[in-house]
Amino acid sequence: MELKEKIHQEFVKRFGQDGIVYASAGRINLIGEHTDYNGGFVFPGAIDKVIMAEIKPNGTEKVRVYSIDIDDYAEFGLNEDDAPTASWARYIFGVCREILKRGGVVKGFDAVFAGNVPLGAGLSSSAALESCFAFALNDLYNDNQIDKFDLAKIGQSTEHNYCGVNCGIMDQFASVFGKKDHLMRLDCRSMEFEYYPFEPKGHTLVLVDSVVKHELADSPYNKRRASCERVAKRLGLETLRDATMEMLNDIKSDISAEDYFRAKFVIEEKQRVLDVCDALTKGDYETVGKCMYATHEGLSKDYEVSCEELDYLNDIAKESGVTGSRIMGGGFGGCTINLVKDEILPAFIKTAKTKFNERYGHEPKVYEVIISDGAHRETPKD
């Protein structure tokens, strides 16, 4: 059954009338990894996998919400000490609280929601959930007066303050601002962004999820950050955003080899995002693919955030003739993102599943995605 229909049937069953339907999307990031905290660029887009909710104000100060996918119901008030215990409900409570904290209006409502963004696969189902409710509550109670960037920040603050996840802004930004057939180059220093056309005719974007997550003891993320900060400081810069390879090579003998390679990756990655934007304006998907492979190589060899399984998936992609492939996300497990010509798509998926299974004892999960609209209202306004 279609997602919307499934939600509607459940809504009517529980609450006895029609609500208004909203949706927001998960996201991919084509290129620009580990660049956000270095003041660089990321290049995400919203996808055709969404969280959808039917919602209706209920005239009380209570929120009543049912999650179809988790098959769980929660009821909570809107004051700070009304926080629900179920973690899925805390995303919704957090969004309500963050709107109220910013002086916005939220009153009691009934909601039923469900989605098809795979959870924890690196496609940001949590941002889709936050953005869906943030967008809805802006439309229902605030006359859409809350600026879209603030909607993204409301989602981000929800993760920080109610879900214990110290995330950046990219996921919520992409979920709120996503536009069909477009990726967005977000400047993580100025927070300015620009849409670029992404219509890879004859190609499909495919996520291959290794379903492995290596837990590492020595906080590798913080160590990478510290390396970048040390090099920036040595160069007299706030972040590596303004660093060049020439500047880095000038101080090579003064810094550790490890710091050198970390900074090299960041400097090259910043340039690769710009190169991909250029290539996209020319419709040159071969160059886009080459940059994706170069990013993988950098993440694996210089930044050292890959792992055996992800390198293997990257090798399989290369051998299969995939146009571009790289790790997506922080690394040490999770997905690769692949730009694949349609004529080799079935063979690539089959090979990736078989070979990976032979070596690691389980198949990777495969998700085809289409770049689509972000947060929106599904029910037409009358």
Of 328, 378, 374, residue with least CA distance to 128: 374
314 Cβ neighbours under 8 A, 6+ residues apart: 293, 296, 300, 306, 325, 326, 327, 336
Q: Is 171 a known active-site residue?
A: yes
Site string for ligand ADP, 21-60 (x = CB under 6 A): ------------------------------x---------
Closest to ligand ADP by CB, 87 or 219: 87
Q: Does position 88 bind ligand ADP by CB under 6 A? A: yes
Residue 191 found at the interface with ligand ADP (CB under 6 A): no
Count of residues binding ligand ADP (CB under 6 A)? 17
For residue 138, count CB atoms less than 10 angstroms from its CB and return exposed for 0-12, middle for 13-18, buried for 19 or more.
buried
* 122 forms part of the interface with ligand ADP (CB under 6 A): yes
Tell me the window of 125-133, 262-270, 271-279, 373-381 that interacts with ligand ADP (CB under 6 A): 125-133
User: What residue 141 binds from ligand ADP, Mg ion, none (CB within 5 to 8 A, per partner kind)?
Assistant: none
70 binds, among Mg ion, ligand ADP, none (CB under 5 to 8 A by kind): ligand ADP
Nearest distance, CB of residue 313 and Mg ion, angstroms:
22
Give residues 109-128 in contact with Mg ion (rule: CB under 5 A).
Answer: 124, 126
Burial class (CB in 10 A: 0-12, 13-18, 19+), 137: buried
Q: How far apart are CA 15 and CA 17, in angstroms?
A: 6
Q: How far is the CB of 124 from ligand ADP (least distance, A)?
A: 4
CB of 254 to ligand ADP, least distance (A): 39
**Can you tell me whether residue 232 is helix, strand or coil?**
helix
Q: If binding is defined by CB under 6 A, does position 124 make contact with ligand ADP?
A: yes
CB-closest chain residue to Mg ion: 126
Q: Exposed, middle or buried, 216 (CB in 10 Å: 0-12/13-18/19+)? A: middle
**47/277 with CB nearer ligand ADP:** 47
Q: Verify binding: residue 247, ligand ADP, rule CB under 6 A.
A: no
Binder of ligand ADP out of 129, 188, 240, 335 (CB under 6 A):
129
Contacted by 216, from ligand ADP, Mg ion, none: CB < 5 to 8 Å by type? none
Is 314 a binding residue for Mg ion by CB under 5 A? The answer is no
Within 10 A of 202 (CB to CB), how many other CB atoms are there? 10
- Which element (helix H / strand E) includes 267? helix 257-281
Please count the other Cβ atoms lying within 10 Å of the Cβ belonging to residue 107. Answer: 16
CB atoms within 10 A of CB 71: 7
| Least distance in angstroms from the C-beta of 168 to ligand ADP | 13
Active-site residue identified among 36, 150, 171, 373 = 171
How far is it, in rounded angstroms, from Cα 140 to Cα 56?
A: 8
> Other CB atoms closer than 10 Å to residue 238's CB: what's the count?
13
Q: Which residue lies nearer to Mg ion by CB, 126 or 157?
A: 126
With b meaning 16 or more CB within 10 Å and e meaning fewer, what string describes 17-42? eebbbbbbbbbbbbbbbbbbbbbbbb
In the complex with ligand ADP, the residue whose CB is nearer, 70 or 211, is 70
Nearer to ligand ADP, 279 or 328 (CB): 328
Applying CB under 6 A, the residues found at the interface with ligand ADP are: 51, 67, 69-70, 87-88, 91, 114-115, 119-120, 122-126, 129
Residues catalogued as catalytic: 171
